[in-house]
């Protein structure tokens, strides 16, 4: 299982439209992942170097890579619709949990 | 709901014991959170500025703050048992998900 985490850096003039992110962008991302998406979420972060984050659980790296090859350009093309910063992507291999 | 994310920076000589993290440290963290913990996970990250991450879903900021006041020092004191870097903490307010 992959834990995909997307971090949005806080800068002096950074902006983030959380309504658009949760209502439009993340559902688009999840739809691109299709049945391989095992859940997603989004959160605002009040303090520190990041202002917002998103995440999605994906059943395998193969399915994630295939979905990004097909839908990645459209997903990335939507980023300027909700923020003026570049997201940082963490592709985590889940090692444990409860 | 809070999404607590803990990021471990990758450095030239950074180390991380994922077995200890998943078997001992994160269960200690979750036990400190008690019933307010709605799930936790851990993942290795192969590339980029972070080498590993953990997360926990917590039902409220009040309960998180209370748990950290009581157990935070013990949790932080355990960090050198599995890594030689300082974790970065993101306290996210969940805004959406599916």
Is A16 near chain B, with CB under 8 Å?
Answer: no
Q: Which member of B40, B53, B96 has the closest CB to residue A26?
A: B96
For A60-83, how does the pLDDT look when each residue is reduced to its tens digit (9 = 90+)?
A: 999 999 999 999 999 999 999 999
Is this complex scored with an ipTM above 0.85? yes
Provide the residue range defining the domain that includes B71. Answer: 2-93
Whether A98 is in a domain gets the answer no
3-state secondary structure of B15: coil
Whichever domain contains A80, its CATH number is: 3.30.70.100
* C-alpha torsion sign, points B11, A51, A35, A66: negative
CB contact residues (below 8 A), chain A span 19-78, against chain B: 21-23, 26-27, 30, 39-50, 52-53, 55
Whether B34 is in a domain gets the answer yes
Whether B98 is in a domain gets the answer no
Residue A4 · residue A26 · CB < 8 Å: no
Whether B19 is in a domain gets the answer yes
For B74-84, how does the pLDDT look when each residue is reduced to its tens digit (9 = 90+)?
A: 999 999 999 99
Residue B4 · residue B56 · CB < 8 Å: yes
Whether B71 is in a domain gets the answer yes
Residue contacts between A and B (CB atoms, under 8 Å): 108
Structural domain count of chain A: 1
Whether A61 is in a domain gets the answer yes
B-chain residues near A88 (CB < 8 A): 48-49
Whether A42 is in a domain gets the answer yes
Mean pLDDT for chain A overall: 97
Q: Is B62 exposed, middle or buried (0-12, 13-18, 19+ CB in 10 A)?
A: exposed
Q: How far apart are CA A43 and CA A54, in angstroms?
A: 6
Q: Which member of B5, B49, B98 has the closest CB to residue A40?
A: B98
Give the chain A residue whose CA is nearest to the CA of B22. A96
For A32-41, how does the pLDDT look when each residue is reduced to its tens digit (9 = 90+)?
A: 999 999 999 9
């Amino acid at each position: 299982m992959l834990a995909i985490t997307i971090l949005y850096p806080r800068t002096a003039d950074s902006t983030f439209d959380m309504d658009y992110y949760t209502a439009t962008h993340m559902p688009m991302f999840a739809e691109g992942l299709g049945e391989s998406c095992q859940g997603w979420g989004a959160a605002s972060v009040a303090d520190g170097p990041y202002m917002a984050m998103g995440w999605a659980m994906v059943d395998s790296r193969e399915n994630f890579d295939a979905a990004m090859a097909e839908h990645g350009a459209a997903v990335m093309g939507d980023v300027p619709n909700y923020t003026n910063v570049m997201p940082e992507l963490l592709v985590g291999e889940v090692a444990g949990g409860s």
